[in-house]
Amino acid sequence: MCKITAATIAADGQAVAKALNSIATALQTSDPSLANELTVAAQTLVTATTGWTTGSPIAVINDAAQAAEAVLGAIPETAVYATFVAIAVTALDILIANVSTQATQTANIVGNKLAIEAHIDTLPENPYRGIVTIKPSLFGPRKALKDAWDKQVELEPNVGIKKL
């Protein structure tokens, strides 16, 4: 977990949006309105992360990610795909924290991780926060998200969620 770059944030935004869209597809049959809100939130996140550059305001990404988290928080915890929602919330938390702490990140992996975890503790309540842990990866948060997501797909193939 080295210092996060604008390119990493953009790629992470794309990966999280893909996860959000997968959940929206699963949600479409039970709650089309909420599914549409999640699709819009995913697109807003992509737009915000694609346009972000190092040193630019973080409020746009924070707002987009927290809007996505608010929609995810409205999904019943009894949904068959609830674990996927928890994975997406964790990925969004990492994305928000990476952007928020980017200016102070250094080559100190432990210090960066602690700063990110401390920032996550300041985020608004979400019933899915803290349910799953995405293991750190040398290839960045999107690789860790993909690994956690794809492993869950293998554990729960009957849910109908596809691998990222």
pLDDT in the model for residue 95:
81
Q: Which two tokens stand for residue 59?
A: 């409020």
Task: Classify each residue of 132-155 as buried b or exposed e, where b means 16 or more C-beta atoms within 10 Å of its C-beta.
Answer: bebeeeeebbbbbbbebbeebbee
**pLDDT tens digits, 27-47:** 999 999 999 999 999 999 999
Give the residue extent of every domain in the chain: 6-159
pLDDT digit string (tens) for 88-109? 998 888 887 777 666 666 665 6
Is the distance from CB of 68 to CB of 38 less than 8 angstroms?
yes
User: What span, in angstroms and rounded, lies between the C-alpha atoms of 101 and 113?
Assistant: 10
Name the pTM for this structure.
Answer: 0.83
76: left (phi over 0), alpha (psi -120 to 50) or beta: beta
Instruction: Name the band, by pLDDT with cuts 50, 70 and 90, for residue 152.
Output: very high
